[in-house]
Amino acid sequence: MENIPIIYLKNRKIYNEKEGERISLDEALNQFNSDEKIYIFDSDGIKRDKPNLCMYPKLSEKLRIWVDSGPRDLGDVVDSVMAGASLITIRQNLYSNFDISSIKNITEREIYLNIDLVNKDIYKTDFSKFQDIDGIVTFIDDNQFDRDFRMKDLLKELCKQYKTYVAKTEDMPTAYLKKFGAAGLLLEASMLKKENY
């Protein structure tokens, strides 16, 4: 199972943890090996439609960046690619009428779909219409995941059909995800160091 560190961009600043302390660009770059793949969770892009495009080129000089910035249309995806993104995450709730084939033809990048397992409407989704995506990304609430068998069943099914990456918090048992066949874990950079993944 692949382990990919997550860094957070918020208010034009970089964080190793979602609720952690700010780090400098040099600190962010120096903690990873050259050409390592990292997942960028761009809160400004996702929540306010103001992605940190100016930071992507600096990060992509040394790293392969997988950008989750909440694109709303094809132009937003192209902007991320032009700024250095190697892989892109699309959030269905923000970019509802996307056409994966067109996006991939224009960008020539791997495109992943964020699936929100907490959203009850997701259980009505026809996943067959997403056959062209390269994989799935999901962020799971540990407490809810432990109690919700339907969520576990859907995650297991997604892992069978798609290359699925799961954002893991410290409380979530990795054994579950390995058993389900998850392709990889998205881990806070600080957790990656602490637990020696």
- For the chain, state the CA radius of gyration: 16
Q: What is the pLDDT of residue 72?
A: 97
* Cβ pair 185, 197 in contact under 8 A: yes
Per-residue confidence (pLDDT) for residue 171, from 0 to 100: 64
Q: Identify the CA nearest to 115 among candidates 82, 164, 171.
A: 164
Determine phi and psi for 76, rounding to 5 degrees.
-65, -40
The residue type at 179: K
pLDDT by 10s per residue, the chain, length 197: 899 999 999 999 999 888 889 999 999 999 998 889 999 999 999 999 999 999 999 999 999 999 999 999 999 999 999 999 999 999 988 998 888 889 999 999 999 999 988 887 887 787 777 889 999 999 987 667 777 788 888 899 999 999 999 997 666 667 778 888 999 999 987 677 655 55
Q: Alpha carbon 135 to chain centroid distance?
A: 10
Structure-token pair, residue 48 = 């306010």
Residue 59 CB contacts under 8 Å (≥ 6 apart), including other chains: 25, 28, 29, 38, 40, 65, 84
Give the pLDDT of residue 188. Answer: 87
**Location of structure tokens 């969770």:** 41
- Asked if 56 and 80 count as a contact pair (C-beta separation under 8 A), the reply is yes
- Cβ atoms < 10 Å from Cβ of 10: 16
